[in-house]
Amino acid sequence: MKKNLLIVALCLLSAGAFAQKAERENLRKGNKSYQKEKYTEAEIDYRKSQEVNNNSVEAAFNLGNALYKQGKFQDAVKEYGIAAANTQDKMIQSDALYNTGNVFMTQEDYTKAIDLYKKSLRLNPKDDECRYNLALAQKLLQDQQDQQQDQDQQNEDQNQDQNQDQQNQDQQQNQDQNQDQQQNQDQQNQDQNQDQNQDQQQQQQQQQQSDQISKDVAEQILNALNQDEKSLQEKVQKAQMQQMERRKTDKEW
């Protein structure tokens, strides 16, 4: 970037010679402090010069340089604007625009810097340093845009990966849920089958027990009938025997 050059005030006689003397005295003091890199002291002297003449182009332009050196960029832009507005000198206007462009270069606002450099070159087409800074700003802007595109692409890829991961997680979760549901259903079916089998076994056991009881009862009844028939036969046989004995007795009589 081009070094911030100071505007040296010329001594002119006028009716306000005393005021002009104080203004220029402060300007000279400010310039000396600036050249010694004492930018805070230079700022004070330039502001004193402005107190005498708030339309001073030299004080505003040089104050802008002192503020720029201190990193007070917004204040510097303001003073460069005052200097450019209060003069018809195209060279001073061009330098004010150029220095304002340098402020935006430090802030990496290359779009504004490019616009200011172009305006400066229209006023002073022979300013090679401004032309160099314009080319530099254009290159840096292109690099910045490329980097932003790369970052946007990375963010897009990352979002896609995250979305894919989320889809995979959701799919796996659904599979797990379906598997759990299937296992639960299988377990329920198994429990139900076991219950049904158990009920069927119990019914079979009850039926077997009932059949056994019926068989036992039938045997008991049959035994009872047989016993009754045997008793009856014994009674008949006994009666027959008694009758025969009576008959024998009757014959002996």
Q: Quick check: 70 and 64 in contact, CB under 8 A?
A: no
Mean pLDDT, rounded, for 29-44: 97
* Count of helices and strands (H, E) across the chain: 7, 0
Q: Mark 188-198 as b/e (b = at least 16 C-beta within 10 Å).
A: eeeeeeeeeee
pLDDT computed for residue 244 by the predictor = 61
Q: Quick check: 61 and 92 in contact, CB under 8 A?
A: yes
> Which residue has tokens 């002297």?
45
Nearest to 119 by CA among 93, 86, 89: 93
pLDDT computed for residue 143 by the predictor = 97
Whole-number percent of the chain with pLDDT over 70: 81
pLDDT computed for residue 48 by the predictor = 96
CATH architecture of the domain formed by 17-147: Alpha Horseshoe (1.25)
Question: How many angstroms separate the CA atoms of 79 and 62, rounded?
Answer: 8
CA distances from 74 to 63, 70, 79, 102, 142 (A): 12, 11, 9, 12, 25
Mean pLDDT, rounded, for 158-168: 88
Q: Please check the confidence at residue 35 and state whether its pLDDT lies above 50.
A: yes
Q: Please check the confidence at residue 15 and state whether its pLDDT lies above 70.
A: no
Domains of the chain, residue spans: 17-147
Q: Quick check: 62 and 30 in contact, CB under 8 A?
A: yes
- Amino acid making up residue 160: Q
Is 88 or 2 the better-scoring residue by pLDDT? 88
Q: How many CB atoms lie within 10 A of CB 56?
A: 25
pLDDT computed for residue 243 by the predictor = 64
Q: Please check the confidence at residue 197 and state whether its pLDDT lies above 60.
A: yes
User: How many CA atoms within 13 Å lie on the side-chain side of 74?
Assistant: 0
> What pLDDT, in 10s, does the model give residues 170-188?
888 888 888 888 888 888 8
Q: Please check the confidence at residue 226 and state whether its pLDDT lies above 80.
A: no
pLDDT computed for residue 227 by the predictor = 74
Q: Please check the confidence at residue 115 and state whether its pLDDT lies above 80.
A: yes
pLDDT computed for residue 129 by the predictor = 97
- Total residues belonging to the chain: 253
